[in-house]
Amino acid sequence: MVEHSSAEVPNECCGVLAGIGDKVTEVYRAVNAEASPVKYSLAPQELLGILKRIDDAGLEVIGFYHSHTKSQAYPSATDKKLAFWPDCRYVIVSLEKQDGPVVRAFRIVDGDVSEEAIEVS
C-alpha cells in the first residue's frame, strides 16, 4: 500500500484488501478513476473485476485503502460519505510527512469513525 501510494504521487491511489476473517492476505491495486490529488474512486468495471478475482480465490473483502498525499491519515468528510461497506476497514496511507508514511485503519459506519489497530505479521 505504501509503495502504491508513493508511486501515484501527486494523485491519491486506491485498492482493495482481501483475506479471511481479519487477516489480509492479498492487496489488489486499482486505478484511481478520478486521477486526482484530493479524491479517489474505483471504476465500477474494475471493482467488479477485483471482486470476481477475490471470490474466485475463495477470499472475502476485508477493506479498502487509499492515500492522502497532503493530509493526515484520517477519514475526510468525503471519505465518510463514501464509506458504503460498514463491515469493512478503510485504510489510509498519509504521505503528508516527508520523514515517513503513516498508515491507519478505520471502521466507518453511518459517518461515525472508529480507529482499528493494524498488526503486521
For the chain, the straight-line distance linking the first and the last C-alpha, in angstroms and rounded, comes to: 15
Domain holding 12: CATH number? 3.40.140.10
Extract the C-alpha cell encoding 55: 471470490
Q: Does residue 121 belong to any structural domain of this protein?
A: no
Q: How far apart are CA 33 and CA 1, in angstroms?
A: 17
Total domain count for the chain?
1
Check pLDDT > 90 for residue 6: yes
pLDDT above 90: residue 99: no
pLDDT at 100: 92
Q: Summarize the confidence of residues 69-93 as an average pLDDT.
A: 96
Tell me the CA distances in angstroms from 20 to 39, 53, 72, one per residue in order: 29, 14, 29
Q: Which residues pair with 94 in a beta bridge?
A: 68, 102
Q: Which amino acid type is present at position 112? A: D
Domain around 88: 2-116
Q: pTM higher than 0.85, yes or no?
A: yes
pLDDT in tens, 13-50: 999 999 999 999 999 999 999 999 999 999 999 999 99
Across all residues in the chain, what is the average pLDDT? 96
What is the model's pLDDT at position 120? 85
Q: How confident is the model at residue 4 (pLDDT cuts 50, 70, 90)?
A: very high
Whether 46 maps to a domain, the answer reads yes
Amino acid sitting at position 97 = K
pLDDT band at 111 (very low <50, low <70, confident <90, very high): very high
